[in-house]
Amino acid sequence: MKRDDKSYKGIGVFDSGIGGLTVVRALMERLPEENIVYFGDSARVPYGTKSPETVLRFARENLKFLKSRNIKLIVVACNTVSAVALPVLKAEEKLPVTGVLLPGALSASKTTESGKIAVIGTTATIHSGAYEEALHAINQDLEIFSQACPLFVSLAEEGWLNNDVTRLTARKYLEPVIEFGADTLVLGCTHYPLLREVISEVMGKGVELVDSANECAIEVEKILEKNNLRKMTGDTGEIRVFMSDVPYKFKEIGERFLGRSLGEVTKIQI
Amino acid sequence: MKRDDKSYKGIGVFDSGIGGLTVVRALMERLPEENIVYFGDSARVPYGTKSPETVLRFARENLKFLKSRNIKLIVVACNTVSAVALPVLKAEEKLPVTGVLLPGALSASKTTESGKIAVIGTTATIHSGAYEEALHAINQDLEIFSQACPLFVSLAEEGWLNNDVTRLTARKYLEPVIEFGADTLVLGCTHYPLLREVISEVMGKGVELVDSANECAIEVEKILEKNNLRKMTGDTGEIRVFMSDVPYKFKEIGERFLGRSLGEVTKIQI
């Protein structure tokens, strides 16, 4: 099949900070030949405590930056932006745009046996009701319970991935979730997979935790195929990381998310 | 004494978010006749986890906004900005500029009897070493111990002012502080006074907690006097609040900081 030059362009990925690197990790595993351009808005992180209008404004600015970097597709690797701004971004943008919310919902709907699904995320994500909407669009009969867990982001960024404070916080947030009795829990924020061990321990056996990263990579592969955009040369793709701030301890935390060395990080003002 | 028109201008106060309203509260108590213009950069909060360069850039932008609002004096009601950017802001600005760091240090130096002072604050504040510098400038012989407590900001914003998670977090952060054996603890972040009860309980009797708000109001009064800028008409001043984002639960949290109704809040884009 003949591929045009466009296929050599990168996959543009953005997040409010470094949580989206978990999505980059899944993309690198599934599509190792693809070039990836990552932008993390670490100067304005977090998004999940802010208003939908502000989140939309930031998302537009991030997207504009990525478009200046020779990309062929945009991945919104942030649940908050996916929840409150994705329809607007899709309507405004000519390039294909995909988020992490629908992949997470799809993954959960495939996992559940009882039809009872719980979703945890930031305040903005949970208040948007976007997960309920996506899950009910997939299957009207699903029973859904949502819970905001705002402190999980700070705990992940502090590196308190599995200590007594994190466990106690998880117990507090997850008590009503346990009461609801789901068999599937959606980790509806890209930071949360870092706390998987504690969340899993608190939820107990019999509850599957799903995140969006792998399903999102599958979705990206489909879009590339459909639009004839896959890079077919076998050499390993390049990852370029841009951040709006490079704070103290950034590399250490970023590499925890990416699961490998970050390479060079370029700071840009947005 | 004859006062010129300038005295009717407002006192401009800014912070990364709403923590600085604790300073506004102290100003209102000490200088009830003064008009106050507050700007909280809630769209980009928190500052304390970000790099000094980014904090300086944000501070300059906030200051520029305040200057468009007819003010006579600028109060940097944010410890992080006071710690990493105040000398630059002062050098660049014609209006008098004052911060919360020196007032906090002064208050601590007056309080201590043993000469052993501990300081807690954000990562950026503690890493700047600005409190040690200010305290040693006041008295070379003071012994100082500093500890970053980054999660305290998120706990205060979540409204977990006195629960078991907050207590456990405080014990973790404050253990080395207790070991150091100070008789005075500086709450070096405008969010921390909200957690005063828990911090005090964990530190135990015999440790005085000091914050900057009251000393800062005293300093502002002195600057106004010295520059002939006090508003002398007896009517109560007006408080105007501007924020770069007005997120969910904002009013509830803001009023917790201010200790009274917030009135109208204007959202501005910065």
Q: Are residues A179 and A127 in the same domain?
A: yes
Q: Are residues B125 and B196 in the same domain?
A: yes
CB contact under 8 A, A151 and B155: yes
The pLDDT value recorded for residue B1 is: 42
Q: Does B247 touch chain A (CB under 8 A)?
A: yes
CB contact under 8 A, B50 and A57: no
The pLDDT value recorded for residue B74 is: 98
pLDDT at B142 over 70: yes
Are the beta carbons of B265 and B246 closer than 8 angstroms? yes
What pLDDT, in 10s, does the model give residues A72-103? 999 999 999 999 999 999 999 999 999 999 99
What pLDDT, in 10s, does the model give residues B85-115? 999 999 999 999 999 999 999 999 999 999 9
A83: tokens are 């929840």
Q: Mean pLDDT in chain A?
A: 94
| Spatial strand order in the sheet of B97-99 | B97-99, B71-76, B10-15, B36-40, B239-243, B265-267
Q: Which of A42, A47, A51 to mutate to test the interface with B (most CBs of B within 10 A)?
A: A51
CB contact under 8 A, A158 and B169: no
How many independent structural domains does chain A possess?
Answer: 2
Q: Least CB-CB distance to A165: which of B169, B244, B246?
A: B169
Q: Mean pLDDT in chain B?
A: 94
Residues A126-152, mean pLDDT to the nearest whole number: 97
Q: Are residues A254 and A125 in the same domain?
A: no
Q: Are residues B140 and B89 in the same domain?
A: no
Report the chain A residue with the minimal C-alpha distance to residue B246: A51
More confident residue, A253 or A3: A253
Q: Does B132 touch chain A (CB under 8 A)?
A: no
Q: Are residues A197 and A110 in the same domain?
A: yes
CA distance B97 to B80: 15
The pLDDT value recorded for residue A2 is: 44
Q: Is A165 helix (H, G, I), strand (E, B) or coil?
A: helix
Q: Does A232 touch chain B (CB under 8 A)?
A: no
Q: Does A162 touch chain B (CB under 8 A)?
A: no
Percent of chain B topping pLDDT 70: 98
CB contact under 8 A, B247 and A165: no
- Interface A-B: count of C-beta contacts within 8 A: 81
Percent of chain A topping pLDDT 70: 98
Looking at the complex, report in whole angstroms how far the Cα of residue B159 sits from the nearest Cα belonging to chain A: 11
B125: tokens are 């504040």
Query: What separation in angstroms does the CA of A137 have from each of A131, A134, B222?
Result: 10, 5, 63
Q: Which residues contact B246 (CB under 8 A, 6 or more apart)?
A: A51, B42, B265, B267
A233 is in which domain, residue-wise? 5-99+214-267
Looking at the complex, report in whole angstroms how far the Cα of residue B120 sits from the nearest Cα belonging to chain A: 16
Q: Does B127 touch chain A (CB under 8 A)?
A: yes
Q: Are residues B158 and B233 in the same domain?
A: no
Of A167, A193, A211, the last residue of a domain is: A211
Q: What one-character DSSP code corresponds to residue A213? A: H
What pLDDT, in 10s, does the model give residues A145-198? 999 999 999 999 888 999 999 999 999 999 999 999 999 999 999 999 999 999
ipTM (interface predicted TM) = 0.91
Of B196, B211, B226, the last residue of a domain is: B211
CB contact under 8 A, B247 and A51: yes
Q: Which residues contact B3 (CB under 8 A, 6 or more apart)?
A: B228, B229, B230, B231, B232
The pLDDT value recorded for residue B254 is: 87
Q: Are residues A206 and A114 in the same domain?
A: yes
What pLDDT, in 10s, does the model give residues A37-60? 999 999 999 999 999 999 999 999
Report the chain B residue with the minimal C-alpha distance to residue A125: B248
Q: Are residues A195 and A218 in the same domain?
A: no
**C-alpha B125 chain-centroid distance:** 12
CATH of the domain at A201: 3.40.50.1860
Q: Are residues B222 and B242 in the same domain?
A: yes
Residue A220: band (very low, low, confident or very high) from pLDDT cuts 50, 70, 90: very high
pLDDT at B227 over 60: yes
Residues A239-267, mean pLDDT to the nearest whole number: 88
Residues B141-151, mean pLDDT to the nearest whole number: 97
The pLDDT value recorded for residue B270 is: 86
What pLDDT, in 10s, does the model give residues B199-213? 999 999 999 999 999
Residues of A labelled as active-site residues: 78, 189
Are the beta carbons of B21 and B100 closer than 8 angstroms? no
Q: Which of B58, B127, B149, B151 to mutate to test the interface with A (most CBs of A within 10 A)?
A: B151
The pLDDT value recorded for residue A4 is: 54
Residue B249: band (very low, low, confident or very high) from pLDDT cuts 50, 70, 90: confident
Q: Are residues A157 and A242 in the same domain?
A: no
Q: Are residues B92 and B126 in the same domain?
A: no
Are the beta carbons of B198 and B173 closer than 8 angstroms? no
Q: Are residues B133 and B109 in the same domain?
A: yes
Of B173, B188, B211, the last residue of a domain is: B211
The pLDDT value recorded for residue B4 is: 54
Are the beta carbons of B193 and B212 closer than 8 angstroms? no
Residue B5: band (very low, low, confident or very high) from pLDDT cuts 50, 70, 90: low
Residues of B labelled as active-site residues: 78, 189
Collect all residues of chain A within an 8 Å Cβ-Cβ radius of residue B245.
50-51, 54
Nearest to B63 by CA among B80, B77, B53: B77
Cβ neighbours around B256 below 10 Å, total: 16
